[in-house]
Amino acid sequence: MWGAASDRGRRRKVNEDAYLAENGVFLVADGMGGHDAGDIASATALGALSFLLEAETIEPELVDVLVDVAQKEVRAIETGPKGRGAGTTLTGAVLAYVDGVPYWLIINVGDSRTYLLSNGELEQMSVDHSEVQELIDAGMLTAEEARHHPRRNVITRALGGPDELDADFRYIPVEAHERILVCSDGLTAEVDDDRIREILLACPDPGNAAQELVDAALEAGGRDNVTVLVVDVTGVPSDNHGDTADRATDIVPGGLRQLEDTQPRNGG
């Protein structure tokens, strides 16, 4: 079960965020500010990654190749004579089976985030590729200080950047009663983790939860595009490994593939 909500926010004119939520693939891309055609970049990247929908087996190497393809396509985006190059972040969770056991393959490039809500605790699964994260890693900044750091929006990796891409991956097991949150920084810049956790715990329906989170970001200022995917895991036995066939249908009720662009709400 999953729900999604996206809003261009109160200040941005265009929603440069995009998401892909279908068939076990839950990705958010945040087209980059300061670059041309961020909305095209995010949609292009997800277009390349949508190959995952048809892949029989999903492995990090496959995703890595697709990320490279996406990188190439984003770089090739015609930005016209102004051409500064488009860019986008990419993060999310993809259902992958390892020896028949379901795992979330977490993917990340940039500062959009993927979280896991498990046993009431919210844990960030992705590691931001941002300057402030590097300062945090170096022990020079606390997470709370980073939220207000002047350079908190400077990211160190992106699809479409000039460099070879090194996407982050990790596997986490798929467990029942857990919830995956995939979001652009329009949410996390406005709403702190505690509040996100409260909302996720208060809204059993993933669609409502996604919308509530977007609303919270808008209430807090909505200075950027906000995109939220909430994925609930159902049908997985809470103990070890269960029947994979059930899971495939239960986790993903199918549904529309969406390259979400914009839902004009109260932003304008």
Residues 31-90 that bind other proteins (CB under 8 A): 32-40, 43-44, 47, 60-61, 63-65, 68-69, 71-72, 75-77, 79-87, 89
Give dist(CA 209, CA 215) in Å, integer.
Answer: 10
User: Which amino acid is located at 98 in the chain?
Assistant: V
| Angle, helices 193-202/206-219, rounded to nearest 10 degrees | 140
Residues 165, 171 contacting (CB under 8 angstroms) = no
Give dist(CA 165, CA 123) in Å, integer.
Answer: 25
Total residues at interface with other proteins (CB under 8 A): 95
Which of 100, 120, 139, 254 touches other proteins by CB under 8 A?
100
Which of 5, 25, 28, 155 touches other proteins by CB under 8 A?
155
Least distance to other proteins, CB of residue 177, Å: 13
- Cα within 13 Å of Cα(254), Cβ side: 1
Least distance to other proteins, CB of residue 21, Å: 15
Give dist(CA 46, CA 4) in Å, integer.
Answer: 15
CA distances from 186 to 22, 108, 211, 227, 266 (A): 22, 16, 13, 7, 15
Least distance to other proteins, CB of residue 205, Å: 26
Choices 95-103, 199-207, 208-216, 246-254 (CB under 8 A): range interacting with other proteins = 95-103
Window 8 to 27, contacts with other proteins (CB under 8 A):
8, 10-16
Residues 227, 18 contacting (CB under 8 angstroms) = yes
Least distance to other proteins, CB of residue 17, Å: 11
Choices 144-152, 192-200, 201-209, 246-254 (CB under 8 A): range interacting with other proteins = 144-152
110 binds other proteins (CB under 8 A): yes
Neighbours of 87 (CB within 10 A): 31
**β-sheet bridge partners, residue 244:** none
Window 158 to 187, contacts with other proteins (CB under 8 A):
158, 160-164, 166-173, 175, 185-186
Choices 20-28, 202-210, 219-227, 245-253 (CB under 8 A): range interacting with other proteins = 219-227
SS3 category, 95: strand
139 binds other proteins (CB under 8 A): no
Which of 140, 142, 151, 177 touches other proteins by CB under 8 A?
151
Window 188 to 217, contacts with other proteins (CB under 8 A):
189
H-helix or E-strand spanning residue 109: strand 101-109
Strands annotated E in 177-263:
179-183, 226-232
Window 245 to 264, contacts with other proteins (CB under 8 A):
259, 261-262, 264
